[in-house]
Structure 1
């Protein structure tokens, strides 16, 4: 799909008095397979000031996917509004809450919000093809997606886990101390996504079964694995841990800033399916989908403990009693989510994560059960075998 301009963009760009937009240059931002739930564009805008000087605004535009099947899967009518709400309402609410407690360095794990709309009618009815969410272009600050098929090393993993702990911890502290604010400014933008794709789900299950049967050492576990995948996930939030859950933290939904090849900062992106649920969901899904196998094999316990230390330190900084959030209680959360929600999620996402570049169809052409035209790669098989082995070892499946 080609998009040459965003209509009426001047209505969503914050301009000072006397400023006007002279030019906009729009290009596709992501290649096929790098994003599924939205059409992603880079937008470079030239603005003339009242004094006749020129300034540039470099943005990323998230737009409705040009595919009715994808819109249905992602429940775009709800999730597009929710993502706008995350950047426009939730982030500033959490930052202001931190400032009220004297926190100097408030959360900074997401892109800066520029502007948004759900249609050109200036009403609150239907999200349509003119809907747009404008955010800062992180690539201009040297943030980038790392190679999705390689997975993260220990240093990058810790950067992402730290940001997850702050996302979860600050929002949980707000819930505990200001439940009305949490309900009105946060929770109303958190909707559980129920994938409406029975046809595609059956096709994916058939692909998973076939793949497991082809992987050395996995064939004896086919029935055990398929039973776990057939089990409907339990999506009911449980107290006291329930908080904002990103719900989709994998390699491509993080951007890493490097300094002399050393990772120094992370940004989380793509908050369209965030919901109200357990922080353990995000941690498990990230660890087993996006961290290198040998790193996770050696450092799983260290990373879980690092997450919990950071999470509880955030709660303490915001004057919360952490008694009910002990490490033992968190381990029970991990066990519950591993058994009831995350195994199928991880196995399913291995298909887009390990799809060879060039094999993935454009978002406009994707059909149920499709991610790539080629056979599973060796990296995909290795990750699947690793995940199955680890979940069986921990008696999670």
Structure 2
């Protein structure tokens, strides 16, 4: 794809009357390993106005140039879902909060400028604000999040889950007809899944500590292939891909003060426990998980309940005990395979990660097994064994 310009950009981005885009500068935004499901471009626009000119700094999310990645991420569905999230779901949730008297509405997602869905060519695009201009930064995926950043992201997840859940409870028809159409689940492709399973076996063969759990790991990983019906009453809008590179953080004086979540292409209808478990075990520093897992769960749950109460929901069904049962169910039935798969790209050595256009079923996961991957995988398996989510 020619990244010198974006096609027909004046019709892509909706500007106020009398404003016209007169110049655009486009360049590659993310490094290999920071985004797998799309091509991310930085877009700087000069806009002519009735009173002069102004600048818009944006990000354009384009179809990945690799046909393999398009197939793997099912972009025919997921691009439509993500455009729907920004253009339909976020405004619905914000308007619902305002109707219920909430002064400070959700702002965990970047601003939406416009989109075009034309999957037959490379004109498909989703244009959002460039958060880096406002000093949001992408954290190092090999480092993991500290306690302050972890709490910011858990609070944003509670906002996503809680406001969506409250809307479902108060306006079930709106949720069913205007939100659910953009929550089509992603389903793994068997041929690609087989390659990923071989990589899992290769990891187990290289790590002595994992070998006693080989049969159980194998069985639990297969759960990822089974799409299960969402469980009530907790079922709500889930991000399904909340790991470190899908969050950008703003710091003030060295302290994390604000987070923005991005990449909603895998959003689906399901348990909020999925997002909480996936985020904690792919992204949070291991020593924090070891020492503070129970605290983090209570922190998230308290935020969720406060949101439901603010939106005047009956919270009797959403107790901490009930949520812990959700965690137990999702850990056993969906998140072991999900986390196990994602630890490979999360902890891949940066110099070995391919460009999106170069990715194939054979090289999407590096042949090298890093020490960080071994260490994190051992920790993750031991944590699931400790909590009796898997056991020998």
TM-score by length of 2: 0.97
2:184 paired residue number: 191
Residues 333-372 of structure 1 mapped to structure 2, 5 A cutoff: 333-372=326-365
Q: Provide closer, same or farther for how the CA distance between residues 47 and 177 of structure 1 changes in structure 2, counting only shifts above 3 A.
A: same
Residues 125-136 of structure 1 mapped to structure 2, 5 A cutoff: 126=119, 128-136=121-129
Question: Separation in 2 of the partners of 1:299 and 1:308?
Answer: 14
1:46 paired residue number: 46
Residue 205 (structure 1) aligned to one of 197, 208, 215: 197
Question: Separation in 1 of the partners of 2:50 and 2:126?
Answer: 26
Q: Which 5+ residue runs of structure 1 have no aligned equivalent?
A: 120-125
Residues 141-290 of structure 1 mapped to structure 2, 5 A cutoff: 141-196=134-189, 198-231=190-223, 232-290=225-283
CA contact (8 A) 2:72 2:192 kept: no
Shift of 1:358: 2.1
1:123 paired residue number: none
Question: Separation in 2 of the partners of 1:316 and 1:48?
Answer: 46
* 1:329-360: CA deviation from partner (whole Å, max 9, x where unpaired): 11110000000000011011011111111211
Q: Which 5+ residue runs of structure 2 have no aligned equivalent?
A: none
TM-score by length of 1: 0.95
Deviates more, 1:387-396 or 1:203-212: 203-212
Shift of 1:292: 0.4
Question: Separation in 1 of the partners of 2:158 and 2:6?
Answer: 36
CA RMSD after TM alignment = 1.3
* 1:90-122: CA deviation from partner (whole Å, max 9, x where unpaired): 001001111111111100100000011113xxx
CA contact (8 A) 1:77 1:127 kept: no
2:386 paired residue number: 393
Question: Separation in 2 of the partners of 1:234 and 1:70?
Answer: 21
Deviates more, 1:313-322 or 1:1-10: 1-10
Question: Separation in 2 of the partners of 1:142 and 1:192?
Answer: 33
* 1:248-291: CA deviation from partner (whole Å, max 9, x where unpaired): 00010111111122100010000001000000000000000000
CA contact (8 A) 1:285 1:346 kept: yes
Question: Separation in 1 of the partners of 2:179 and 2:212?
Answer: 45
CA contact (8 A) 1:118 1:127 kept: no
Asked if 1:378 is matched to 2:377, the reply is no
Shift of 1:394: 1.1
* 1:132-153: CA deviation from partner (whole Å, max 9, x where unpaired): 1100000011111100011111
Question: Separation in 2 of the partners of 1:333 and 1:13?
Answer: 41
1:92 paired residue number: 91
Aligned residue-pair number: 389
Question: Separation in 2 of the partners of 1:311 and 1:236?
Answer: 22
Q: Provide closer, same or farther for how the CA distance between residues 326 and 127 of structure 1 changes in structure 2, counting only shifts above 3 A.
A: farther
